[in-house]
């Protein structure tokens, strides 16, 4: 009898609206369960509340609730908060981006040397990206562009190979290799000589001096900025000797760099020079 009364009360509650509109067919379906039949409708009037208390479960079938069924301010998104509950976050502020901070996401303005328009264009401030930001890179200078210096001996372009060779039994032979493709403002940090020495048990020595020419009215000045001194070997060797400059050299207007190599070969020895690697910032 009690269950019947509960069903009747539920039915009355769902049908006795001010406008006497029929809203739903309700019947009991097991203990403590009421069912709205197909085609029925449960309406909560303005000012009313559908209260699902803690510990209860409110189940919505797949595909029943769509994005358009949610009330959400224009330009806002739903974000889980510290209470594991969805909350609205305004994401419409002009030119802002969403950034995670390890806990949640926030809408922040782009700062520093960049600005972001609401059309998606990222603008960098003038002179905000320089050599320091770009980092270092290695410029390869082939030995083939060099020429024999004051003391003869080096042979450029031997046997159809892209190398420079120094045959046996040469003393203090010099080779000049210009360091090309440097721009004003480039900062030279170090250099490395790439060569192969054929020793046959005899001594071969190789010196490499990175030098700077500076234009001047009296005469261009010539000065060393860093040298690899006396690579001396008595066995076949793949040379990859490097020199880090004591002070990085910034290229200014009217300046150029070249490498001066000086080598001595004993009998049955030779040097095959491939090129120079220059680290530039």
Cβ-Cβ contacts under 8 Å for 73 (sequence gap 6 or more): 88, 90
Tell whether the model's pLDDT for residue 19 goes beyond 60. Answer: no
Enumerate the CATH 2.60.120.260 domain ranges in the chain, comma separated: 134-280
How do residues 59-116 score in pLDDT, each as one tens digit?
Answer: 777 777 777 777 888 989 889 989 888 889 898 888 888 999 999 999 888 888 888 8
CATH number (2.60.120.260, 2.60.40.10, 3.10.20.30, 3.40.50.80) of 134-280 reads: 2.60.120.260
**Least confidently predicted of 22-26, 149-153, 240-244:** 22-26
Q: Are strands 164-166 and 270-280 parallel, antiparallel or unpaired?
A: antiparallel
Nearest CA among 183, 253, 190 for reference residue 225: 190
Buried b (16+ CB within 10 A) or exposed e, 7-32: eeebbeebeeeeeeeebbebeeeeee
pLDDT value of residue 104: 92
């Amino acid at each position: 009898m009690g269950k019947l009364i509960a069903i009747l009360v539920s039915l009355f509650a769902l049908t006795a609206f001010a406008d006497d509109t029929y809203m739903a067919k309700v019947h009991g379906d097991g203990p403590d369960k009421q069912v709205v039949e197909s085609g029925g409708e449960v309406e909560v009037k303005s000012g009313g509340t559908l209260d699902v208390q803690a510990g209860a479960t409110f189940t919505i079938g797949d595909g029943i609730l769509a994005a358009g069924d949610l009330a959400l301010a224009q330009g806002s998104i739903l974000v889980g908060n510290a209470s594991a509950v969805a909350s609205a976050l305004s994401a419409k502020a002009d030119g802002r981006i969403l950034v995670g901070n390890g806990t949640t996401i926030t809408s922040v303005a782009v700062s520093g040397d960049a600005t972001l328009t609401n059309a998606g264009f990222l603008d960098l401030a003038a002179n905000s990206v320089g050599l320091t930001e770009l980092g270092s890179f290695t410029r390869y200078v082939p030995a083939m562009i060099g020429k024999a210096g004051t003391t003869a001996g080096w042979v450029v372009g031997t046997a159809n190979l892209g190398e420079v060779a120094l045959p046996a039994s040469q003393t203090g032979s010099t080779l000049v290799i210009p360091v090309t493709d440097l721009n004003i403002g480039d900062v030279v940090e170090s250099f490395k000589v790439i060569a192969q020495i054929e020793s046959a048990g005899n001594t071969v020595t190789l010196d490499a001096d990175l030098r700077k020419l500076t234009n001047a009215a009296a005469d261009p000045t010539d000065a060393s900025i860093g040298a690899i001194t006396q690579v001396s070997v008595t066995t076949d060797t793949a040379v990859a000797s490097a020199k880090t400059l004591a002070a990085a050299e910034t290229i200014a207007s009217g300046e150029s760099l070249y490498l001066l190599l000086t080598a001595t070969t004993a009998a049955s020895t030779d040097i095959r020079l491939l090129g120079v690697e220059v680290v530039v910032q």
